[in-house]
Amino acid sequence: MGAYIIRRLLLMIPTVFGIMAISFLITQFAPGGPVEQALANLSGQNVSMTERITGSGSGDLGVNQTNGDSKTGYRGSQGLPPELVARIEKQFGFDKPPLERFGTMLWSYLRFDFGESYYRDISVIDLIKEKMPVSISLGLWMTLIAYGISIPLGIAKAVRDGSRFDVWTSTIIIVGYAVPGFLVAIALVVLFAGGSFWSIFPLRGLTSPGWATFPWWRQILDYFWHLVLPIIAMGLGAFATTTLLTKNSFLDEIGKQYVTTARAKGLTEHRVLYGHVFRNAMMLIIASFPGAFIGVFFSGSLLIETIFSLDGLGLLGFEAVTTRDYPVVFATLYIFSLLGLVIGLISDLAYMWVDPRLDFEGRSA
């Protein structure tokens, strides 16, 4: 087991390297990079952007709108002196060859030094820490609640397959799965967050103003009160998927010969279900966990964060991509790649906990 874990950890190195290399290569050909945007803003006399990028007043830029002899390859640089273009390239680190920039980035990321955002006066790691509580709250509680309800419900549906309970719950689940999460979120806002009917739940943030001054029990209640609507909106799709996956997995195992043999030996249905079927049926559920968790933790929460005014990592990553804030883009990509690989390893180890018969050493040999 120890050798298997070490091999998996070592395999993460080339995997993360490949992800970062491909992403870095794509950004080299993507139009509208940070230098191009800065030059376009300068050419358009955007003084506020100019001062933020160059750290000087507009009178110090030496911008000549009539000069069309610039040799730079960037669009939007026409009419700007070459020394200003070079200054902006240096500001964003684009004055070095791509391989050198990529190597510097990897060395910094190995030390978890992600630099500073291009457009915010804050380091990337501090920016991620600032947004992390929202994403952790949404991802963790949604996953725990979805799995905590879906697995028992899926088992109950498998045991009562074809019954009225199974038909009605399947209908509700399928309808819930068919409705997009953002539509559910909008409906919840209209109904329960002061949209047109009742103003029961808060609409903005994770806590109320003055939360730090509340008693501890009120802080807990206030925190969960803010999460009710976002969790409901996010949970319907995952709830349906996990429930039906659990049911089908258990049905498949219940129909196998070893279950018939166990019943013939006189074992109770509870013993058959939880002593024999459970550990085999749960393999698929555990296998689906890493992808579900990462999806909920990051990209799956983007629309929900926007609708409920929750400033988390999903919204941060989207805004970083649209504004070409590469330090934020690569830092979030690096962190979530590592997180996904680690959760995948934990998922494999959970296999062994569910079914000790698994031999990782033999499988990897």
**What's the confidence (pLDDT) of residue 260?**
86
What b/e string do you get for 89-110 counting C-beta neighbours within 10 Å, with b at 16 or more? bebbbbeeeeeebbeebbeebe
Residue with tokens 């964003």: 92
- φ/ψ of 46, rounded to 5, equals -80, 95
pLDDT per residue as tens digits for the range 178-231: 888 788 888 888 888 876 778 888 877 888 888 888 899 998 998 899 888 888
For CATH 1.10.3720.10, list the domain ranges present in the chain.
124-364
**What's the confidence (pLDDT) of residue 358?**
64
Q: Give this prediction's pTM.
A: 0.68
**What's the confidence (pLDDT) of residue 296?**
64
Q: Check residue 198 and give left, alpha or beta (phi > 0: left; psi -120 to 50: alpha).
A: beta
| Positions of the chain with pLDDT under 50 | 45-54, 56-77, 364-365
Place domain 124-364 in its CATH homologous superfamily.
MetI-like (1.10.3720.10)
Contact 172, 221 (CB under 8 A): no
